Structure 1
Amino acid sequence: MTSDGPIGIGLDVLGRDELDSLVTRGWFLRYCYAPEEIEQAQCLEGGRRLEYLAGRFAAKEAVLKALGKGLFQGIAPRNICIRRAADGSPHVELRAAAADAASQQSVRVSITHKDSVVAAVALLSQPEQQRPINDGRRSEHT
């Protein structure tokens, strides 16, 4: 891959009901969600709470895949915090081992919900300021 393109991409799809019983277990919430995410979920009721948690879970799985990691491969999902940016879009904050694995790259996610299905995609790329400037001239390679 060239230095101005994506470094990693991840996709995750799940049914909201896949988490029904898990989100009632304290250990699961503490392992998978950052304290801020748990606090936000507690402000939501019923189906919206499950939708929120499922969306965050899918986004975390997508980020792990973009980083080339699996769910139990050294990065706790709680170290991938998905917050809401001022414009309403999801914003990824990497902490601890997740930040180390990203090694100065930026991560963007998109989350979508349709009926009982949740999907998320994550893109790992170089931060804008580190990308080479393409002035339209063709480079010659030998």
Structure 2
Amino acid sequence: MIIGIGNDIESISRVGQIVDQKNKFLTSILTASEIDQASTRRGKHYHEFVAGRFSAKEAFSKATGFGIGEKVKWQDIEVLNEKNGRPIIRVKNFPYKTYVAITHSGDQVNTVVIIERRTLLEKISLKIFPKRGVL
């Protein structure tokens, strides 16, 4: 059962300007693994990547209805890529399934996050294998 949907759109050039002007932006928004992945990109692809991660975290915060801050911090949310390039989102101590789609067009990045309640079998599996599905 879907329990939350969040959407966010960001200007890639605006995020790029913030990244270039504020040294702490990357380390406050992105995890170490995300920064490593970003470092493999060059030129406009670097800013696209960072804007996509920022947008995904914003969309996640909207899907939960909590925002960023008190219950969930920037560093609690991690958006990485599977081997085939598909983005995945993982959140520390978050018991629900999350799905993310990130798309770029021109100077815009649009992200959608869906949160789904886990089945009873998945909940039991998480108790047995606690590392599955969380950071």
Name the TM-score, length of structure 1 as normaliser: 0.77
Change over 3 Å in CA distance of 1:23–1:62 after alignment to 2: same
Counterpart Cα distance in 2 of 1:69 and 1:88: 28
Q: Which residue in 2 is equivalent to 1:6?
A: 2
Counterpart Cα distance in 1 of 2:112 and 2:102: 7
Structure 2's unaligned 5+ residue stretches are 124-135
Structure 1's unaligned 5+ residue stretches are 132-142
1:15 pairs, out of 5, 11, 17, with: 11
1:70 pairs, out of 67, 72, 75, with: 67
Q: What percent of counterpart residues are identical?
A: 29
- Provide the secondary structure at the position in 2 that maps to 1:20: helix
**Structure 1 vs Structure 2 CA RMSD:** 1.8
Q: Which residue in 2 is equivalent to 1:58?
A: 55
- Provide the secondary structure at the position in 1 that maps to 2:2: coil
Q: Which residue in 1 is equivalent to 2:106?
A: 115
Which stretch has the larger CA shift, 71-80 or 23-32?
A: 71-80
Q: Which residue in 2 is equivalent to 1:140?
A: none
Name the TM-score, length of structure 2 as normaliser: 0.81
Contact residue 12 and residue 119 of structure 1 kept, 8 A: yes
Q: Deviations over 1:8-39 (max 9, x none)?
A: 11000011012123213232111100101111
Counterpart Cα distance in 1 of 2:72 and 2:12: 23
Aligned length: 121
Contact residue 34 and residue 81 of structure 1 kept, 8 A: yes
| Greater gyration radius | 1
Counterpart Cα distance in 2 of 1:57 and 1:73: 18
